[in-house]
Amino acid sequence: MNNDKLVNARILVIDDDVNMMDVLSVVLRRYGHIVKTYTEPLSAIEELRKNTYDILLVNYLMTPVKGDKIVETVREFNKEIYIINPKSNVKKIFTITGLDKIFKVEG
C-alpha cells in the first residue's frame, strides 16, 4: 500500500464506545472512505480474515478481548494493514486519512 494520504480507504473500526465509533465513521465516510464498524472484537477479527481493509482503528480497552490481543491476532494473518489506536493517535489518523487539511490537530 502507498504511504501517501489514502483516498477511498477501506477502514474497519472496533470500539465498544458506540459514540466514538459513530463520530469516526461519519467523518471518515464524509471524506470518501469506506467504513465498517464493530463493537464485538471477535466478529471484527473474522471480518478481517474474510475481507481486505487498509486501516484498522481499534480501541485497546475492550472486553472480552483487549486491543493488544486483537492486534496480535490480526498480525498473525495480516502484516500489511495499518493499525491505529484512535484515542492515542488522533494526529496520525487525521494525517493518514487527509483530515489534517480540514481540522487543526495538535500534538
**pLDDT tens string 67-105:** 888 989 999 999 999 988 765 555 555 565 565 565 555
- pLDDT surpassing 50 at residue 1: no
Is the model's pLDDT at 4 over the cut of 60? no
Q: How far is 79 from 58, CA to CA, in rounded Å? A: 16
pLDDT value of position 2: 45
Residues 88, 50: Cα–Cα separation, whole Å: 28
